[in-house]
Copies of this chain bind each other. A is one copy, B any other.
Amino acid sequence: MPKTQANLKAQLNTEGYKLTPQRKAILDILIKQRCKHLKCDEIYQLVRSKMPSIGIATVYRTLPLLEKMGFLNRILLDDGLVRYEVSTQGENHSHHHMICTGCGELSEIEVDMLDDLEKQIQKTTGFLVQNHSLRFYGLCQKCQGKLNT
């Protein structure tokens, strides 16, 4: 089943959870910001602009839930703050993150190419690879430009 807004209710119900306006609003915001990677507090601020009465505890409780249901991915960068991104349909296996050490910007790239490496690891170490996370640190084009000034 595709992980879209429309399926939120069904997904929740099959596991005994309920669809609340808060949960809908939070997913809504995240889908609208699709390509962003938002911190909990940023999500809280955004949702609050649509639903001023929501409490931050609800956000903290909803995010892991949406993650468990497969709607979100939790990301931990080097600053130690938890971020979330909307997970593109079942493919948690095919995009990598690039983090600019100049401005901190986080972007994505849609390649994978780790199959060979995974096979090699499995053969060498016996470790059964199920998933991976690959991050590149370096300079985005903007920051490379600034260096030449």
Contact = CB atoms under 8 A, between A and B. Distances in A.
A144 B128 CA distance: 8
Nearest to A117: B113
A126 interface: yes
Taken together, the copies of this chain in the complex come to 2
B141 A126 contact: yes
A137 B117 CA distance: 13
A42 B78 CA distance: 20
A124 B108 CA distance: 12
A119 B137 CA distance: 13
B125 A129 contact: no
Interface in A105-149: 107, 109, 111, 113-114, 116-118, 120-121, 124-141, 144
A120 to B, nearest CB: 7
